[in-house]
Amino acid sequence: MYNILVVDDDKEIVNAIDIYLRKEGYKIYKAYNGEEAMEVLKNEEIHLIILDVMMPKKDGLETLEEIRKNKTIPVIMLSAKSEDYDKIEGLDLGADDYVTKPFSPLELIARVNSNIRRYTKFGALKENLNDKTYKTGDLFLDDETKKVIADGKEIKLTATEFKILKFLIKNKGKVFSIPQIYENVWNEEGYAAENIIAVHIRHIREKIEIDPKEPKYLKVIWGIGYKIEDIK
């Protein structure tokens, strides 16, 4: 049983989130501004916070700063601001994730689950690491057991998808064009590569990423190629 604190000045949104997350088996604490949130944090053991940015009294960013002074629990920012620099500002202040309004309930649930898994099971995963395991951030690929784990959840990949992902994660941080990926994975010239690779990559992304359009691990650099982000 994990405890989640939901902070938003819009009561209906808090209630909706409450309904969804309660179904997932979480215990929900509610707060309607930053000060209330700090009050709850003081008294309860909280495992994850969903924090709205624009709130009266104490806004989300200020609250986040204060939380980060002595707590490492996951924080998901919630905001109507969708500009890149808004997201960067939140993430820079120590947020773990950023969800823009209006969000789809499924996405929010997926992100909550992923963050909880990471926060609670990370230690256990670490023990299974061996020298044939490749890793970036919370994405693990074990070449021995052929297992892929993303944000604490095991992912089922086809053989080809696994090969592509293995090649990219082995060379994490580097960008590869479609023909390069083709040659390296199939060991032959990439004539007919065309969009086959692109399709595979989309599939991989849909499996390992929470939001395939804004991928965290498998990045698309349009007109140049693909890469696995090197996250410490």
Partner 1 sequence: MENIRKSSLLRGISYILIPIIVFILVLCVVNEVLVRQYGNIGNKEEYLKTDQFAEEYYISVISNVSDIKEIEYENSNGIEIYNATRNYYKKIENQNIYYEGSKETRVGYINKGINYIIKDKNTGKIYTNIQITELDKQIQELKNSSVYWYYENGEIKTNIDKISQNNVVYNYGITYNDYDIYSSFNIDNMIEYMLKDPTYAIYSKLNNISQFFNNKLSYIIPIATILLAVIIIYLIWSIGHEKGKDGITLRSIDKISYEIIIMITWFIIVLLICVIGGASSINSRIPVDFVQSAYIVSYLGIYVCLLIDVITTIRRIKAKEFWHSFLVYKIWNKLRQKIDEYGGKENSTKKITFFYLMFLAIFFILINCATSFLGLVLLVAFLVWIYIKLLKYNKKLNEVQMALRDIYEGKDDVYLDESEQKGVLKRMAKYINDIAGGFSNAIEQSLKSERLKTELITNVSHDIKTPLTSIINYVDLLKKEEFENKQVEQYIAILDNKSQRLKKLIEDLVEASKVQSGNVKLNIEDINLKELLNQTTGEFEDRFEKKNLKIELLVPTDDVIIKADNRYMYRIIENLFSNITKYALENSRIYIELKRESGKVKLSIKNISSEKLNISADELMQRFVRGDKSRHTEGSGLGISIAKSLTELQNGSFDIEIDGDLFKVILQW
Site stretch for partner 1 (CB under 8 A), options 26-34, 55-63, 64-72, 223-231 = 223-231
Q: Closest distance between partner 1 and the C-beta of residue 152, in Å?
A: 25
Rounded to an integer, what distance in angstroms lies between the CA atom of residue 136 and that of residue 180? 21
Percent helix, strand, coil in the chain, to 5, is 40, 20, 35
Among 42, 45, 187, 223, binds partner 1 (CB under 8 A): 223
Q: Are strands 139-142 and 147-150 parallel, antiparallel or unpaired?
A: antiparallel
Q: Closest distance between partner 1 and the C-beta of residue 157, in Å?
A: 17
Q: Are strands 97-100 and 75-79 parallel, antiparallel or unpaired?
A: parallel
Q: DSSP readout, 124-160?
A: HHHHT--TTEEEETTEEEETTTTEEEETTEEE---HH
For position 62 contacting partner 1 by CB under 8 A, the verdict is no
Among 3, 16, 160, 184, binds partner 1 (CB under 8 A): 16
Cβ-based neighbours of 3, under 8 Å, separated by 6 or more: 26, 27, 28, 29, 44, 45, 46, 47, 48
Nearer of residues 28 and 220 to partner 1, judged by Cβ: 220
Site stretch for partner 1 (CB under 8 A), options 118-126, 147-155, 165-173, 219-227 = 219-227
Q: Site map for partner 1, 117-156, x if CB under 8 A?
A: ----------------------------------------
Rounded to an integer, what distance in angstroms lies between the CA atom of residue 20 and that of residue 87? 24
For position 25 contacting partner 1 by CB under 8 A, the verdict is no
Give the residues lining the site for partner 1 (CB under 8 A).
10, 12-13, 16-17, 19-20, 54, 80-82, 100-105, 177-178, 193-199, 201-202, 220-225
